[in-house]
Chain A
């Protein structure tokens, strides 16, 4: 099948690639661009390990075709930290041991950052429901929820 030329922005940089029309954004990120931060846990939009934002909206990159990325602004886990420092969520996740194996962590961080951008003061229930599309099999979510809540509190205090 002939490939399609796509130009998009990823983590602020202009990127172009050729992709098969059947390939997903996740396939393109991982297999064409070498950005393996987003993970494939299911390929059907059920686990959230591949979460990215597209024009500020949280999506499962396994459910969006690569050709649909044209002209969009995509943010992945690789775009969360600055050159100088980790995002407060990343720092807090390490400090709280909010990850065990770490495979769901990129998706959860992308999702949690997106939540805090929309709602800097979420309740525990709001955090739990926002992250309900991101499966974690190791932690029982306890430390993840605490890390997100406490990061939100810190960020409110700092702002």
Chain B
């Protein structure tokens, strides 16, 4: 899209802060989430899960369960498609999903599904699940990323390794990435100071408050209906159809309201199981996961082990940088090691850089995307080393980052030349923010970090239908995960020149629109927003055509202004402006319904950068950290609804605080998850946090008509590093492992063994 077609000011709706259209539903309890619907004759499904980290499934005896009162169906792997075969690389991904949804020959992690049962009540189904007897032959397991790469590690699965992996590596290393440019050796030789260090992060869970839930019905005729909480119902449709051997279009999927996802609801877990049970029982089946199973069997992000080496001159110029990123993503390929590697040095304009990534399998649940997958961990490692360099060379952390910052036209660490980007603007805004110059109190430390995320476009279809009364029914296909209905309605109203309240935005089911990619990659306001604007422009064109026909002039002699068709100039004749509602009132007789469409794969998602400032205090007796002040500065391109943009900034920072300080998957020697609940996996609560200041920077994205950049993910990229830098300053010792829990801080201080 040409830059001159960008509209960045003169808006009536964009940049205002109206109430969200689904607000009343959500404050009264009326909104229907995944677990909130029932169907006549409905059964409840419960999934039986492996208690072992790695075990051969010798035998599953379902006879006792099947004989119990109220039990209507039991399924195992035999009830899913046998047409899906394992393979290395992307061709094998559907098999990976199937294997994760229901184990085949082996249970690969604690919590892996091995069977499921449907009964007339949830209690009856739970009792029956306990009566299913699974005989296991326990195998050696490994859950740590470094140990899984060692020569003596048990092999999770032979044949999963891609060709790109260098010879001689353990078969658990399944994918490899390498990128960069320049002469590293010469770069490091030029440096006045080179720091090389190793960092580790633990797996964390997205921690959405709504457990996965679905209600499915599937008949012997291969036709099905599915209701579920998901970030992408077309993907659910595609995966379920494949796993059950159905024709895709015969399964209609409706996305419920979604109680948080953060990437974790981009994957499919229970939906095919509910459909398989339904097909067998010939009744609708509802499955709602419990929290322990959510922790054990869905979502976590990769854990990492990272080696970073950066060279710097006395004046702050970075001369070379390299990173090695080992990411474990559970018992399947897919840990986001290429994103980790590619994001690591993205904020910096480097003459010599190299990043290497390893995707490592372990006996843990299949990792799922979590908000900018890979980037937060990479930033933690890289920005910690930059902080060390600044400290040792006596340099200001923001000035040093500004000196090396990526700008329009510089070459990205992972290859391409940057388009228009806003990193420098976030750094300058952070430097000018009162937070940065506020004197620190005794015992406090201040940390700064930058963060980067690519953002994404993806397949998108939108339909905008006009009603006779001039109101608008906008159908989008991206689940509204945090207020996007408001942004969509604002963009439609802006284009059409009508009040915001006149637009009703609905999340359409899979039968209503063409394929819409998942709500991921911070793509919704960008891609569905762009599609909404284009669909509105399509409707406007059709409205103008109706006016032209009425006035007996050429279509291009009519233009759209303030919600009315008007003659485009004096030559078009003298006609009264024709408001939208007057055209739609007569549309049945003037050519039929007016509907605007847009279907495409927008590819201009502008990248997004952020700079965070955080003050932390460390209690040296207990090791407890308190975040005393937090400021997020991020480039939103153009904030459609600034309040919800701030909300994304604040939410990402809060999740980052949890990740940095408390959250981690803790596995015992037996390979079992020891903290599968919110009591022991402690996400931040209200009394843990300060207010989080959110500063919106707007450097327009040339790839969106209004300049929008996605904002959802970048906000979690800087916090781990910014907090580590603040805590290290406050504690007087460098913290290199997350989370920086009290025992780890005490160990680093040497006051605790």
Question: B30's closest neighbor in chain A, by CB?
Answer: A37
- Bound CA span A135–B260, Å: 12
Report 7 cross-chain contacts, Cβ distance below 8 Å, ordered by A residue.
A43-B290, A44-B678, A102-B31, A104-B259, A105-B27, A128-B689, A138-B482
> Judging by beta carbons under 8 Å apart, are B24 and A86 in contact?
yes
Which among A36, A93, A101 is the interface contact of B260 at CB below 8 angstroms? A101
Within 8 A of A (CB), among B628-647: 643-644, 646-647
Which among B27, B291, B694 is the interface contact of A43 at CB below 8 angstroms? B291
Which among A30, A77, A97 is the interface contact of B28 at CB below 8 angstroms? A77
> Judging by beta carbons under 8 Å apart, are B210 and A39 in contact?
yes
- Bound CA span A125–B482, Å: 26
Contact with B along A119-159 (1 / 0, CB 8 A): 00000010111011111111111111110000000000000
In addition to A34-B38, A36-B36, A131-B687, 12 A-B residue pairs with Cβ atoms within 8 Å of each other are A81-B27, A93-B23, A93-B27, A94-B27, A99-B27, A100-B260, A102-B25, A103-B257, A103-B259, A105-B26, A137-B209, A141-B654
Tell me if B477 counts as interface (CB < 8 A to partner A). no
Tell me if A15 counts as interface (CB < 8 A to partner B). no
Which among A35, A78, A137 is the interface contact of B655 at CB below 8 angstroms? A137
Which among A42, A94, A109, A141 is the interface contact of B677 at CB below 8 angstroms? A42
- Bound CA span A144–B683, Å: 17
For the side of the interface on A, what is the size category? 35 or more
Which among B31, B206, B678 is the interface contact of A46 at CB below 8 angstroms? B678
With a cutoff of 8 Å between Cβ atoms, the chain B residues found around residue A78 in the complex are 28-29
Given known contacts A23-B123, A127-B686, A94 and B20 CB-to-CB distance under 8 angstroms: yes
Tell me if B653 counts as interface (CB < 8 A to partner A). yes
Which among A86, A134, A140 is the interface contact of B653 at CB below 8 angstroms? A140
CB proximity of B234 to chain A, nearest CB, Å: 20
Which among B17, B27, B687 is the interface contact of A90 at CB below 8 angstroms? B27
Tell me if A47 counts as interface (CB < 8 A to partner B). yes
With a cutoff of 8 Å between Cβ atoms, the chain A residues found around residue B17 in the complex are 97
Tell me if A61 counts as interface (CB < 8 A to partner B). no
Which among A76, A134, A135, A140 is the interface contact of B651 at CB below 8 angstroms? A140
- Bound CA span A137–B685, Å: 9
Which among A23, A94, A95, A131 is the interface contact of B686 at CB below 8 angstroms? A131
- Bound CA span A80–B25, Å: 13
With a cutoff of 8 Å between Cβ atoms, the chain B residues found around residue A137 in the complex are 206-209, 260, 262, 651, 655, 683
Contact with A along B245-261 (1 / 0, CB 8 A): 00000000000011111
Given known contacts A38-B29, A43-B290, A137-B260, A143 and B686 CB-to-CB distance under 8 angstroms: no
> Judging by beta carbons under 8 Å apart, are B291 and A42 in contact?
yes
> Judging by beta carbons under 8 Å apart, are A37 and B29 in contact?
yes
> Judging by beta carbons under 8 Å apart, are A142 and B692 in contact?
yes
> Judging by beta carbons under 8 Å apart, are A94 and B687 in contact?
no
- Bound CA span A135–B654, Å: 12
Given known contacts A137-B209, A137-B655, A138-B647, A145 and B686 CB-to-CB distance under 8 angstroms: yes
CB proximity of A35 to chain B, nearest CB, Å: 8
> Judging by beta carbons under 8 Å apart, are B677 and A101 in contact?
no
Which among B19, B33, B122 is the interface contact of A94 at CB below 8 angstroms? B19
With a cutoff of 8 Å between Cβ atoms, the chain A residues found around residue B121 in the complex are 20
> Judging by beta carbons under 8 Å apart, are B692 and A140 in contact?
yes
Given known contacts A106-B29, A138-B482, A40 and B643 CB-to-CB distance under 8 angstroms: no
With a cutoff of 8 Å between Cβ atoms, the chain A residues found around residue B258 in the complex are 101
Given known contacts A43-B290, A76-B29, A103 and B209 CB-to-CB distance under 8 angstroms: yes
Within 8 A of A (CB), among B165-218: 206-211
Which among B209, B646, B647, B691 is the interface contact of A135 at CB below 8 angstroms? B209
Tell me if B511 counts as interface (CB < 8 A to partner A). no
Which among B206, B207, B691 is the interface contact of A145 at CB below 8 angstroms? B691
CB proximity of B252 to chain A, nearest CB, Å: 22
With a cutoff of 8 Å between Cβ atoms, the chain B residues found around residue A31 in the complex are 122
Tell me if A22 counts as interface (CB < 8 A to partner B). yes
Given known contacts A31-B122, A46-B679, A47-B209, A102 and B257 CB-to-CB distance under 8 angstroms: yes
